[in-house]
Amino acid sequence: MAVLKFDEIPYEQVKEGLQRKIIYTEELMTVLIDFSNGPWEEPESPHSHPHQQTSYVAEGEIIFYCEGEPDQHLKAGDMYAIPSGLKHTVKLLTKNVRLIDSFYPVREDFLKS
């Protein structure tokens, strides 16, 4: 069993205004993502991946965009799911946003070599 205590593991700085913490097993990954550079005028560029994804908005507000679906204004407590291969992105509406993403299978591209 793996346990990560929030105060005992450092954030990984992904880029300015975006940091994350990750826990994973052989098949499942959960990623805590903290944005601190909102609100944004424009959404990030859409992307897709072969992984199934669910996300929980733990703090802040976003607009969630997903290929073939209407745009969604989401706030803390809301969730969304993304099937494999669909293009998606977000736009921050508040300065700080915390997302908790789960991926199946594990996002190998998120792991340090």
Q: Is residue 113 very low, low, confident or very high in pLDDT (cuts 50, 70, 90)?
A: low
When the pLDDT of each residue in the chain is averaged and rounded to a whole number, the result is 96
> What's the whole-model pTM score?
0.94
Question: What is the domain-level CATH number for residue 18?
Answer: 2.60.120.10
Domain count, the chain: 1
Q: How do residues 62-103 score in pLDDT, each as one tens digit?
A: 999 999 999 999 999 999 999 999 999 999 999 999 999 999
- Give pLDDT, residue 1: 67
Residue 64, in any domain of the structure: yes
Q: Is residue 58 very low, low, confident or very high in pLDDT (cuts 50, 70, 90)?
A: very high
Residue 86, in any domain of the structure: yes
| Alpha-carbon gap, residue 95 to 37, rounded angstroms | 6
Residue 65, in any domain of the structure: yes
Residue range of the domain that includes 27: 14-107
Residue 33, in any domain of the structure: yes
Which one, of 44, 37, 42, 27, lies nearest residue 89 by Cα? Answer: 44
- Give pLDDT, residue 2: 86
